[in-house]
């Protein structure tokens, strides 16, 4: 039987992975970053040299071993947590994740992972597709400029120097691709709670989500 399931969705740069990770750590629950799984598939596709635009080229997923454990992502037992953040992966992950076959395989893996106990899972289709019966659904938003600032700061920490205009354009492009793809587009679940993080700190958002979890757990206990 699954434990308490928290689904956190949102567009690029909304803070969902950082926030989900902190919430899970505070509660000693399992955190699963589904975006990292799609990035791992993209990395494998790039390394294999397949034609990325050919949906039939992803049959390697049938035997591919992807594991997400303690906020690290493993590809065939190789820790690729840093490799999946490369520009090449970032530029192609929207395309790779748009194919129904790829999503079907990973959704099955994600649902299996969510059965291990109390879990905080983040992505772009968790509340709508992966865990539609989640106990709590959160949709994080922030304006494009703020999300770009966060990405820009993240790039600087990693020694990258992409111009702010490029970061903004990249986020707008990603938003457009994610929200218009045919398979599992980014959208807020009807029963999700929207949190605008534009003017909030990470800790502010974490505290708010912890309050919502506590409220839901008490409702379940009544």
Element (H, E) at 195: strand 193-196
CB-based contact 92:81 (threshold 8 Å): no
Smallest CA-to-CA distance from 51 within 15, 96, 12, 6 is with 96
Distant-in-sequence, close-in-space partners of 46: CB < 8 Å, separation ≥ 6: 52, 88, 89, 92
How far apart, in whole angstroms, are the C-alpha atoms of residue 127 and residue 129?
Answer: 6
Q: Do the domain assignments include residue 222?
A: no
Q: Do the domain assignments include residue 123?
A: yes
Q: Do the domain assignments include residue 214?
A: no
Q: Do the domain assignments include residue 176?
A: yes
Confidence of residue 157 (pLDDT cuts 50, 70, 90): confident
Distant-in-sequence, close-in-space partners of 211: CB < 8 Å, separation ≥ 6: none
Q: How many CA atoms lie within 13 A of 205 on its CB side?
A: 25
- CATH code of residue 107: 3.40.50.300
Q: Total domain count for the chain?
A: 1
| 111 or 87, higher pLDDT | 111
The per-residue pLDDT for range 50-87, each reduced to its tens digit, is 999 999 999 999 999 998 888 899 999 999 999 999 98
- Residue 109: its pLDDT value, please? 93
Confidence of residue 111 (pLDDT cuts 50, 70, 90): very high
Q: Do the domain assignments include residue 47?
A: yes
- Residue 1: its pLDDT value, please? 58
- Residue 69: its pLDDT value, please? 83
CB-based contact 136:127 (threshold 8 Å): no
How far apart, in whole angstroms, are the C-alpha atoms of residue 126 and residue 141?
Answer: 15
Alpha carbon 119 to its chain centroid, in Å, reads 14
Burial (Cβ within 10 Å: 0-12, 13-18, ≥19) of residue 68? buried
Classify residue 76 as left (phi > 0), alpha (psi -120 to 50) or beta.
left
Q: Do the domain assignments include residue 64?
A: yes
Q: What angle do CA 194, 200, 20 make, to 5 degrees?
A: 60
- Residue 222: its pLDDT value, please? 56
Q: What share of the chain in percent tops pLDDT 70?
A: 99
Q: How many CB atoms lie within 10 A of CB 33?
A: 23
Q: Residue 180's domain spans which residues?
A: 5-202
- Is the pTM higher than 0.95? The answer reads no
Q: Do the domain assignments include residue 215?
A: no
Q: Do the domain assignments include residue 73?
A: yes
């Amino acid at each position: 039987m699954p434990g308490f399931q928290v689904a956190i969705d949102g567009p690029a740069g909304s803070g969902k992975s950082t926030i989900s990770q902190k919430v899970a750590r505070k509660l000693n629950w399992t955190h699963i970053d589904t975006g990292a799984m799609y990035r791992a598939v993209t990395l494998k596709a790039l390394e294999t040299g397949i034609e990325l635009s050919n949906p039939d080229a992803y049959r390697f997923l049938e035997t591919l071993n992807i594991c997400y454990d303690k906020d690290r992502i493993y590809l065939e037992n190789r820790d690729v947590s840093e490799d999946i953040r490369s520009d090449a992966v970032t530029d192609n992950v929207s395309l790779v994740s748009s194919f129904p076959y790829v999503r079907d395989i990973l959704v099955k893996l994600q649902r299996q992972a969510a059965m291990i106990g109390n879990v905080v899972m983040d992505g772009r289709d968790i509340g709508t597709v992966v865990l539609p019966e989640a106990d709590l659904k959160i949709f994080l938003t922030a304006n494009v400029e703020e999300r770009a600032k966060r990405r820009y700061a993240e790039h600087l920490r990693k020694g990258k120097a992409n111009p702010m205009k490029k970061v903004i354009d990249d986020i707008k492009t990603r938003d457009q691709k994610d929200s218009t793809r045919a398979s599992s587009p980014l959208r807020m679940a009807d029963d999700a709670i929207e949190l605008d993080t534009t003017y909030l700190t990470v800790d502010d958002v974490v505290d708010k989500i912890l309050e919502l979890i506590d409220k839901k757990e008490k409702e379940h206990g009544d």
